[in-house]
Chains A and B, each alone.
Chain A
Amino acid sequence: MSRKEQKEKNRPVILRLFAMIGPTRFVFVGALIALALSIGAESAGNLIIRHVVDNVIIAKAGLKTFALWAGLFMVMAMVRGILNFLQSLGKSRTSEEIARTIRDRVFDHLQRLSFSYHDTNKTGELIQRSTSDVDTVRRFYADQIPGLANTLFLFLINFAILLTLEWRLALFSVIAIPLIILLSWFFFGKIFSAYDKFQDHEGNMTARIQENLNGIRVVRAFARQDWEKENFRRINQKQLDLGYRLNFWDSFYWPFGHGVCGFQFAATVFVGGVMAIRGTISPGTFIAFSSMINALIWPMQELGRSLKEVSKSYVSFARIAEILDEDQEDLTSAALTRDSNVQGKLEFRDVSFHYVEGVPVLDNISLVCEPGSKIALLGATGSGKTSLVNLLPRFYDYTGGEILLDDKPLTHYSRHFLRQNIGIVEQEPFLFSMTVRENITYSLNREVTQEEVEEVARAAAIHDSIMKFPKGYDTMVGEKGVSLSGGQKQRITIARTLLKNPRILILDDSTSAVDADTEDKIKESLEKLMEKRTTFIIAHRIQTLKKADRIFVLDEGRIVQEGSHEELIGREGFYREVFDLQTRMEQELQDELSAAGAAKVLSHE
């Protein structure tokens, strides 16, 4: 991490929130200036009315001067309109630009965070942060800052003018403002907390309804409709009570605020009236005064809300910053800059690895794998097979020893380079909601011809199925398109890997998630995939393993046995146990079949 990033992290979050504005800051400041000017123009309009009343109407200056002033009033109004428009242009430009920047950054950042980060963070939580929290930050610039500025400018500009018109009356007219601010701060505290409770419970209620709808078959199977209704009634009732409570605070605050503001206004009008009768102020000043006080007092009611909302944006931004402060995986830097092809020789030298300090997952693993050879890993669940192969694309970095690829340490290669040269077929195939073609070409950053795509689809034995889809290769996968069977999905991922054409291949239990019928169908396409590639196979069946050049048996993170199939069955140990059990199982099966009088089956290939 660069020093600049470190410095960024140590700054207070609220400053960073303001720093998000970046190069658009001039636009934003411009927008705020436009806002202030437009408020000024409005006040100027009031001053024009004052002038008209005092010097035109009362002085009976005649229609000509009148027309002049009316014209000026209209021009002022136009200026105000233009300023207002500029203001909204500026603030929406700023806020949308910031929202886009954050969205892009969060999106890219998330896909560059390490595996361990994604292992420990919930998807829903991350999505929540990247959508609704980003929107809260957007609103901070679009609504909250301009809103606060509006209240503030209305107050400052009008108050300043009032002071010059008649300072004693001006001071008198703001007496209630501290009270209004206090009241609104207090009540909005209550309203927001009542609202949070209301929202929380609404979340629970929604979850409850969702659960009921998802489990409606169980409800029916046990004929529990009446109980469900009763149960929902309670939750619904609580929601009603919380709604009442929220409404209660609302219905108290607004009349309070209104009453205080109204009191202040009426009192000012009265005192101003007295002053006007005495001649301390002119009638025009009185009229301008009353309009400007109006503009000054009423927005104060909302000040508490604005301040509370600003504090919410702060929390939202802190949650986003938490993601952005996580260190990215370094994808590109490498000691070796090489364009030449990977040969595919792999060597593990005393490699150890752990996720959590003190809990070793791999311990002193040493093995050599020649280019193009096939390595099989056998072991019980949790013996470290998947962890071992996850080290190759540097999904995790080993904590001890060394892995060499073509005789150079793995850490000398960039993660990107390694991942481009390693293909993985996982247990649970994952496809994106794109077209079938886009899924197959997913890993290639170049134009791919239809022939290429069809060729790999044929090799993966999925071409015919694809042609039966409504739009062939252009059919969408997933919710908006066809739903695929597990076997079909797996074959598309095989096609995807074939097209990627990696030198090194990892088959991580690739057939265990599909049913027996499908497994047979996939087998051939997997064979095709393995041709001429350095391959790591994780599997449970001796039939799958025995063709490997070397087999390693793992137990609790250690290699306990290694050798070819022939060597291993000749020795005592786990492999032979498994082999014997499987042979016995075949025997049992044959026995059972012959007992039933059924035809024997050939030993399974």
Chain B
Amino acid sequence: MSDTNKLENMNFSGDFSGRTIRRILSLTLPHWKMLLGFSLCIALTAITESTATYLTKIIIDKGILAKNYQVLFNLSLIHLGCFLATSLFVFGFIYFAGRLGQLLQFDMREKLFNHLQELSFSFFDRTSSGWLLARVTSDTRRIAELASWMLLDVIWATFNIIASLIYMGMINVKLALIMLVIVPFLAWSAVKFKSYIIKEFRKVRSINSRITSAYSENINGVKIVKALTRERANARIFGNLTTEMYQASYRAAWLSGLFMPVVQFITSQAMGFIILYGGWEINLGGMTIGGFRAFIAFVAFMIWPIQDLARVFSEMQQAIASAERVFTLMDMEPEIGDEPDASQEASFKGKIEFRDVDFSYVEDTPVLTGFNLTVPAGQTLAIVGPTGGGKTTLASLISRYYDPGQGTVYLDDVDFRKYTQKALQSRIGVVLQTPHLFSGTIEENIRYGAPGASQEEVLAASRRAHAHEMILNLPGGYEEQVGEDGTLLSVGQKQLISLARTILANPDIIIMDEATSSIDTLTEQNIQQGMEELLKDRTSVVIAHRLSTIRNADRIIVIEDGKITEEGSHGELLRLGGHYHHLYTSQFRREHTSSLLA
């Protein structure tokens, strides 16, 4: 796993590549009716709008100047009809494009979410959840907008410009040809200028995110700021940042303030020329007064899409970069695949055996080499050792969260690859150091591991975990909301609930990473009893910190640098007088002292 493997560091260009666009198209095709609906409506909107403008020409020439009431009345009705028709089409394009956009987001969110459920652990190790979240939310939105609103803008601009040019041609061919020359030039310079401005606004955004983190840090650390009397220095540093922000935003703002006047100026010069030339033509009889007025209106009409073009292009570019990210993510295969003949069902007596297992997270930095270990069925193995020694790796390998590089793990003497991951993992209960709860009620959380369990079973599991009393003492009992990520509960309470959850799921093998955080005495006792209940008669591998757990284990191994350095029963290891001896005595003092004063 090198850094280029890391999705977050990959570079997504946003170039208009055929493959990405085809793929966006294929997502859109199932909803082709809406795509067709809004394309048609927006094209018709552009046509009816320009027709209404052209009608004013005829109204002036054939109605007013010819002093013909009948023509004026008839044309005014058509004029009105145009506006009403436009209204209908406006409804149509907003309705269809909006719905299509929402539908596409729905589709992609679902696909991505479901896909993420199947990816491997190693993927989540190196990809932050914040990054993934942005893909599921903002990237999918951008892609949906590309296929709806941005496409709509492009169609509108195209039809608008073409219809305007045609009507202009109908008014006066020579002037229309002059416009045909000016338009590409105008469009080109508008895009160039606007892209430059957009770049300036990106700088503003990046300073803005620095401002946000400055706020966040200073609020989180406000007590230290006060204790160390840093207020003045911090305000000064922050002031530099806001000044930088001021300068960047001001620059971006005046540049974009320059944009419209420049576009308007160029157009006005064109219009002045038209007045001059048009007047001449009128004198010669080559143009009518109504045509003259309509022509000026058409020029203004065309400017809108042209000056907007740059924004649309830059947004499209971003959307395509989003699409590249999303598609790369969708194409990620889970690194650990199930063998084709893997069994869907698993059930274990519980013997675990590592045979010559090699493992590394990063190439050339082995964590385990030729590792061997056997845990007989029904035994509890405690793993102790310094941080970074390989304890967690060892525990994770049993559930096949990672695949060993060499060698394999046998469960009941069967290679664990012979089961699907789902079958395997559903029989292995994992209790994590910081238990993760999902927002919802306590009961929902306990039931998480066994959705079909009855009320009685939930209560029974909770009693066995010694969580029942604690839960009943909460205002809402089992119906109490745990909050996002369980934040409304204390760590100890969360641990009790996670124990109940695992007991209810009734796995064959338990992998446990014991918590180190200090917890009040009563909860601590409950947790210990709950754990004993959970570990009873089950094979279990525990990354142990508590004395009681260590002492109650059938066997203890000390792991340092991926190797078993000490191994045996509690007494044997104490006699050895090595690392375990030291660890045990410090932990002994620590626990006894803190239990005394909690």
0 or 1 for each of A72-96: is its CB under 8 Å from B? (1 = yes) = 0110111011101101110011001
B224 touches A430 (CB 8 A): yes
Give the distance to chain A from B108, nearest Cβ to Cβ, in Å.
10
At the interface, yes or no: A174 with Cβ under 8 Å from chain B? no
**B138-160 residues at the A interface, CB under 8 angstroms:** none
Smallest CB separation, A521 vs chain B (Å):
12
Residues of B within 8 A of A100 (CB): 242-243, 245-246
If A88-B253, A233-B110, A286-B60 touch, does A250 touch B98 (CB 8 Å cutoff)? yes
Whether a CB of chain A sits under 8 angstroms from the CB of B583 is yes
Does B181 lie at the interface of the complex (its beta carbon under 8 Å from any beta carbon of A)?
no
Known: A496-B228, A541-B593. 8 other contacts (CB 8 A): A66-B276, A67-B276, A78-B268, A92-B249, A99-B249, A103-B242, A130-B215, A258-B87
A81 near B279 with CB under 8 A, answer no
In the bound complex, how far is the Cα of B573 from the Cα of A598, in angstroms? 9
The interface stretch among A210-218, A302-310, A345-353, A557-565 is: A210-218
Majority secondary structure of chain A interface residues (helix, strand, loop or mixed) = helix
Residues from 26 to 84 in A contacting B, C-beta threshold 8 Å: 45, 49, 52-53, 56-58, 60, 62-63, 66-67, 69-71, 73-74, 76-78, 80-82, 84
Which of A179-187, A222-230, A363-371, A404-412 forms contacts with chain B?
A: A222-230
Contact-size category for B: 35 or more
Q: Which residues of A contact B225 (CB under 8 A)?
A: 111
Question: Which of the segments B71-79, B187-195, B465-473, B553-561 contacts the partner chain?
Answer: B71-79
| A290 and B276 in contact, given A206-B137, A213-B133 (Cβ under 8 angstroms) | no
Q: Is B137 a contact partner of A209 (Cβ separation < 8 A)?
A: yes
Task: Check B257 against A89 for contact (C-beta < 8 Å).
Answer: yes
**A52–B257 contact, CB under 8 A?**
no
**Which one of B80, B130, B430, B589 lies within 8 Å of A266 (CB-CB)?**
B80
A246: B residues at CB distance < 8 A: 98
Instruction: Please tell me if the beta carbons of B448 and A123 are within 8 angstroms of each other in the complex.
Output: no
Q: Is the CB of B212 within 8 A of A131?
A: yes
**Would B69 and A597 count as touching, CB distance under 8 A?**
no
Q: Which of B227, B233, B243 has its CB near the most chain A CB atoms (within 10 A)? A: B227
| Contact between B253 and A110, CB atoms less than 8 A apart | no
**Known contacts A217-B436, A225-B118; is-contact A516 B276 (Cβ 8 Å):** no
The stretch from B22-30, B290-298, B310-318 touching chain A is B290-298
Min distance, Cβ B500 to any Cβ of chain A, angstroms: 13
Cα A248 to Cα B98 in complex, Å, equals: 8
B contact residues around A469 at 8 Å (CB):
none
Knowing A393-B227, A500-B228, say if A223 contacts B215 (CB, 8 Å): no
Tell me if B552 is interfacial: C-beta within 8 Å of chain A: no
Nearest Cβ in chain A — how far from B407, in angstroms?
Answer: 23
- Cα-based distance from A265 to B227 in the complex (angstroms): 68
The CA-CA distance from A111 to B52 in the complex, in Å, is: 61
Q: Please pick, from B102, B271, B283, the residue contacting A77 in the complex, using a CB distance under 8 A.
A: B271
B95 in the interface (beta carbon within 8 A) = yes
| A585 interface hit (Cβ, 8 Å) | yes
Asked if residues A269 and B59 are in contact (CB atoms below 8 Å), the reply is yes
CB within 8 Å of A: which B183-226 residues:
208, 211-226
Contact call B105/A243, Cβ cutoff below 8 A: yes
Given A127-B219, A516-B587, A540-B597, the answer on whether A70 and B87 have CB atoms closer than 8 Å is no
Is A171's beta carbon under 8 Å from chain B? Answer: no
Judge whether B598 is part of the interface by a CB distance below 8 angstroms. yes
Task: Tell me if A223 and B246 are in contact (CB < 8 A).
Answer: no
Contacts of A290 in B (CB 8 A): 56, 293
Residues in B with CB closer than 8 Å to A445 are: 232-233
CA distance A416 to B228 in the complex (A): 9
B114 at the interface (CB under 8 A from A): yes
Please determine whether B229 and A601 come into contact, CB atoms closer than 8 angstroms. no
Whether the pair A103, B98 counts as a contact (CB closer than 8 A) is no
Interface residues of A in 157-187 (CB under 8 A from B): none
Determine if A104 and B242 form an interchain contact, defined as CB atoms under 8 angstroms apart: yes
Q: What are the residues of chain A within 8 A of B221 when measuring CB–CB?
A: 430, 432
A204–B401 Cα gap in the complex (Å)? 29
Give the CA-CA distance A129 to B56 in the complex, in Å. Answer: 51
A381 to B519, CA, bound (A): 12
The interface-forming segment of A10-18, A271-279, A450-458, A525-533 is: A271-279
Of the 9-residue stretches A147-155, A234-242, A313-321, A354-362, which lies at the interface with chain B? Answer: A234-242
Complex contact A287–B289 (CB within 8 A): yes
Query: Taking the complex as formed, is A467 at the interface, i.e. its CB lies under 8 A from any CB of chain B?
Result: no
The smallest C-beta distance from B503 to any residue of chain A, in angstroms, reads 12
Of the candidate stretches B163-171, B258-266, B527-535, the one touching chain A is: B258-266
Q: Please name 22 pairs of A and B residues whose Cβ atoms are closer than 8 Å in the assembled complex, sorted by A.
A: A52-B279, A63-B279, A99-B246, A108-B231, A110-B222, A112-B231, A127-B215, A211-B484, A216-B124, A218-B436, A218-B448, A220-B401, A220-B421, A221-B449, A258-B86, A286-B64, A287-B60, A419-B226, A442-B230, A582-B596, A598-B574, A598-B581
Nearest Cβ in chain A — how far from B328, in angstroms?
A: 17
From known contacts A67-B276, A263-B80, A598-B575, infer whether A251 and B264 are also in contact, taking CB-CB under 8 Å.
no
Nearest Cβ on chain B to A175's Cβ, whole angstroms? 15
Does B94 sit within 8 A of A, measured CB to CB? yes
B121/A220 in contact, CB under 8 A: yes
Write out the residue numbers on chain B whose beta carbons fall within 8 Å of the beta carbon of A426: 224
Chain B: which residue is nearest A382 at the CB level?
Answer: B598
Could you say which of A103, A266, A589 contacts B211, with CB atoms under 8 Å apart?
A: A103
Closest to B585 in A: A601
- Given A247-B99, A516-B590: A419 in contact with B218 (beta carbons within 8 A): no
- B46 shortest CB reach to chain A, Å: 14
Judge whether A74 and B268 touch: CB under 8 Å. yes
Shortest CB–CB separation between residue B124 and chain A, in angstroms?
6
